[in-house]
Structure 1
Amino acid sequence: MKRSVLFAVLFSLSLHAFAIDTKLMVRAKAKDAKFVGSSIGGAHIIVRNTINGQILAEGITTGSTGNTGLIMKTPKDRFAQLADDKTAGFLAVVDISEPTFVRVEVISPISRKNAQVHASTELWLIPGKDILGDGVVLEIPGFVIDILTPNTHQYIPLESIKSTGLDVKANIVMMCGCPIEKGGIWDSEVMEVKAVVKKDGQVFGELTLANPSRNLFEGNVKIDGAGSYQVLVYAYNPTTGNTGVDIINCVVTE
């Protein structure tokens, strides 16, 4: 019995002795924008074996969103690298002894649940053959939208808004946290941003939201009666196809 146990231990050790640490850089990049990094909470990365689902590496992208001029303004040549040593990414170190087909999963941005996108791709990892530089880059489409006014489940007396109307305000940024403003790199003037208001389940009004300052979008809708209201704000860029939505519910009381 002791000899068989010793043999099993030695056999297991011999297998691991041939395993090699293999490095894989994984990055999440916002569609039409920059990399998802520490400033917005990062993207959650999972590298798993496609055969049995075993997680081989897991972590959060950290670092900066990258060089704006290089990413957004410089024409791209073949093999040109977008990331530098400060650009957000997750360096997965995978211990493998043979070529392994893996699935790379990205949940981004991890701390903005109302805007999270799940993206994935698959590739072969070969022992000792590192994939560095830009590495594997997964695109994250969309906008992060946060409705600021009205608040979720807010009770609003009808008399307080009957003459002035209901203010609708939202904060909107790119999926990397990059700013949106008139005339900026991410120009609000080429985007369609609207609020759709429902009363007791029926569409009550639709309004275009103005962009008076960086990331802030606002408008006003007339309210003529008590009821349960839903406010949906969407952003749409017809050039890139980027879309984003946030929804809240509030109650207007007599």
Structure 2
Amino acid sequence: MTTTVLSLQAAKSSSDRAVRVILVEDDHDLRQGIADYLRLQAIEVTDVASGAGFYTTLMDGDFDIAILDVNLPDVSGFELARVISSSKPMGVIMLTARTGREDRIKGYEQGADLYLTKPVDGEELALAIANLARRVRSAALSAKAMADRKDRIPEHAQERPWLLDLQRHRLISPEGVPILLSGREAMLVEQLARAAGATVPRNVLDTLFGNSSSDPESRRLDAALRRLRMKARAAGADLPLHVVHAVGVRFIGALNVV
């Protein structure tokens, strides 16, 4: 048994069903080649050729992973990634011929978990799917467990502070659930913690994402805040962030740095 199949079985062990993937690619031969290979690896694949097909299929299906081309005939794959990241507990893999740095950054800003370029090795793609599906399902199970526990948590427990562990790059909810942060996310939360409930100006936070001054066209801060909220929701917590339009961001509630 190959490493790929072992990894896929491990991903499946967290659920009663195989990993389910929606593949959006307008090149017919490439789409069929990828879909056929993944099916041989025990992955359930639904393949569509356009954004319209994606939206129609998503209404009726439940998927773990979306694999998205960027250059689709009717919509950008970046837009599909943004829709998924803001509304669905799914992993997102961009699979595209666009290799530029700005494209990669845009993909991650819009919610991609992985950005792979064509041509892609089939085994590498299958392993990436398995690993990402395992994380997505684990987060979903944790969220369900937290939701089940929430009704049993005493009211006074809700008054405990959030904790920012800078050394381990994690934010710990009042219920004790850790949320892993990227380096820039940790710096963002640290700025909010140091403000002690005050609004941190947007231009100050923008500098964490490489902007020397506030740029009205930049959406990197908004994307980072959206991803933070999604991570918190996946952990069963409601992140108390308040965005003051065109002004800045503040953290409502107690937030301590440890």
Q: Establish whether TM, by shorter chain, passes 0.5.
A: no
Q: TM-score range by the shorter chain?
A: under 0.3
Structure of higher RCO (CA pairs closer than 8 Å, 6+ residues apart) = 1
TM-score normalised by L of structure 2: 0.26
> Comparing both structures, which one devotes a greater share of its residues to helix?
2
TM-score normalised by L of structure 1: 0.26
